[in-house]
Amino acid sequence: MGLFDSIGGFLGGDSIEDQTNAQWNRTMQMWRSQIAWMKKEYAKSAGEYTSGYQKAIGDWGAMTSEARAGLEESFAREKGYLGVGKENVMQQVRQSYEQQRGTALASGIMSGLAGTSFASGQQAALTRAETQDIGNVETGYAQQFAGMEQRQGTQMMGFDQWNIAGKTGLQTDYTTGLANLRGSWAGRISGQQQAGLGVQ
């Protein structure tokens, strides 16, 4: 040990250095603890943020699935109503011609024309007219069904596009928000690290 070291120790230099080192170590420990806490808080915030968005996306999926099922159900009801309407109209046409054939037959019997070519021709004409009217009903309802299916298809396509756009928007918001959260915490942690390096 040199002379100056002995003098420094004699004047309390070793004690001062020990205190200084202890204080520095405490400061560094606090600095490291603060950075560790900030990193932990960032992980917690990011986890909560992610969980929140996962719930939001899940809720969106459940909501749109329920809405789509309701839309499909309404489409099916509309088709059913149109089908019932068609059957009712066709039944009315058939009943009308059955009555006309019965009336013509009764008239032929009363006039003595039953069994003649005239009576047979009259019945054949009614049958042809019935077939024509039934065909017209079929054609008219086929056009209505085609228009309805085209409209329903367009509506369902629009719904699906809206659903995809909504889900994409949520995912984009999540990605942007998470990047902003990460950037904010990175700046705070970096600032704390720089402060610690300044102390060192």
pLDDT by residue (tens digit) across 106-155? 888 888 887 888 888 999 999 999 999 999 999 999 999 999 999 999 99
Amino acid letter, 137: V
Average pLDDT for residues 2-30, to the nearest whole number? 61
Q: Which of 76-80, 150-154, 186-190 has the lowest mean pLDDT?
A: 186-190
Q: Round the average pLDDT of the chain to a whole number and report it.
A: 85
pLDDT at 13: 53
Closest CA to 133 of 155, 100, 175, 161: 100
- Alpha carbon distance 89, 3 (integer Å): 123
Global pTM value: 0.67
Q: Please determine, for residue 180, whether its predicted confidence score (pLDDT) is greater than 50.
A: yes
